Amino acid sequence: MSPDPFEEACAATTSPERLEVLATSERRDVRSAVARHPSTPPKTLADLALDCADAIVENSAFTGANGGALVAVLPTRVLSRLPEYVDLPASWVGHLAQDAREEVREVAAQFASPELLETLARDPSGGVRAAVAANAATSGAFRALLAADPSPDVRAMVAGSRHSPPELVDALSRDGDASVRARVAGGQPLTSAQTVRFLADPSEQVRRNLACNPQADITLLAPLARDPSVEVRRGIARRADLPEVLLRELADDPVLSVRLDAARFHTLPPDLMQRFIQDPEEGFRMSLAEHPDAPPAFLSEMARSRELPLRWPVARNPALPLELIELLARDPKIEVRAMIARNPATPAELVAQLADDPESFVRGAAARNPKLPAPVFERLLRDDADDVRASTVANPAITREQLMTLRDDRSRGVRLLAAMELRRSSTSHELLPVAP
């Protein structure tokens, strides 16, 4: 009788060669046991690292005297992504902080203790020092030290951090490097004096970031609607708090991309909606097809167009009438049916029908819709197509138990997506129940 693979993977006497074979098992409990085994070869550990991240950080070989050398064997791509899947133990962070690779020390700087940050704040690599500046645990004294760093990338990180004190941010708002000023302009609450100063800044990057900063007082930003830079005007056009007087000004902009942004991101008065619909530029019709305020007659015309680039934007419209939803759910093009399957306005019973579509692309789109009835969603969790099962991970109604099931999926890609979502959800919010 053949030995149980899990028992083999746990046995202290199992050879490295046998562990390499066991690492390819379809059973996650076996792969995890291999990842924990101190005799597993480094290359095999690297292959398992992301798939079994929670197990590999428990491997006793990494906590021993040779732990740092073993960590150093793991590829940079693995070490840089490992925190996406698991909390790094302090011993691992210590090893990473001493690694010869700059990118690996940058990872350490994101999770280092205050004591270790003091060492990394003096690292010869600007990238590492910038990562220290981004760490919330960095002390005020070392944040001030980094604000005077010779590297503009490091100063920019201090300038954009919400943990930097106002007096430090104000000093950096006058920095000689535009990239540093731009981080203040785009990422910090601004005083009126700072806003006025940034309005006249010679750097397009600074003015563009100011235009996009939701914390900047819109009543002071009107001059940016007439800025010579197209990207600055586009930044203003996209603001959620744009007053109608500026919306109308930007609607007359000579550059198409600015007018499109003005049309796309705002509730439009009826006269502006009609003007945009009648604009000779085809891009307007495509953009407005997704607009929730688009007139029903216009949506009906677009939904019945023979041109695919005009139909699929309509299928994305969250205010699409039921008549058009039902029409486009039968569209011969999979792109259109997929958009209907994901549309929040599509009734649950129609989403369920699209979950039976012969095309996996359409079924995958339905798998992402939280309206999908629970029994149908359960079926898609076992769909033959890897891309459909992967899509279920993106459904906001997926449960932790279902994610744990996908954590053992036969597809490595699905397993990694499930692991990342488990990690994300454990640190952000409770998962929602599946719709009844």
What's the predicted TM-score (pTM) here? 0.82
Long-range pairs for 409-415 at CB < 8 Å and ≥24 separation? Answer: 410/26, 411/386, 412/51, 413/386, 414/386, 414/389, 414/390, 415/28, 415/51
CA distance 377 to 398: 9
> Which phi and psi (to 5°) does residue 24 adopt?
-95, 5
User: Using 50, 70 and 90 to split pLDDT, how confident is the model at 428?
Assistant: very low
**pLDDT over threshold 90, residue 390:** yes
Nearest alpha-carbon partner for 393 in 353, 361, 364: 364
Whole-number mean pLDDT of the chain? 92
Reading the block at residue 113, the tokens are 């203790």
User: Using 50, 70 and 90 to split pLDDT, how confident is the model at 3?
Assistant: confident
**pLDDT over threshold 90, residue 352:** yes
CA distance 372 to 352: 6
User: Using 50, 70 and 90 to split pLDDT, how confident is the model at 436?
Assistant: very low
**pLDDT over threshold 70, residue 31:** yes
Of 56-70, 371-385, 402-416, the one with minimum mean pLDDT is 56-70
Q: Residues 117-124: what's their mean pLDDT?
A: 95
CB atoms within 10 A of CB 156: 24
Please write the tens of the pLDDT for every residue from 191-202: 999 999 999 999
Q: Which residue has the higher pLDDT, 277 or 249?
A: 249
At residue 62, the pLDDT reads: 84
Q: Residues 326-343: what's their mean pLDDT?
A: 97
Helix (H, G, I), strand (E, B) or coil at 44: helix
Q: Residues 237-246: what's their mean pLDDT?
A: 96
**pLDDT over threshold 90, residue 296:** yes
Of 57-66, 230-239, 312-321, 424-433, the one with minimum mean pLDDT is 424-433
Reading the block at residue 149, the tokens are 């760093």
Please write the tens of the pLDDT for every residue from 72-100: 888 998 889 888 888 888 888 999 999 99
CA distance 157 to 147: 9
At residue 1, the pLDDT reads: 63
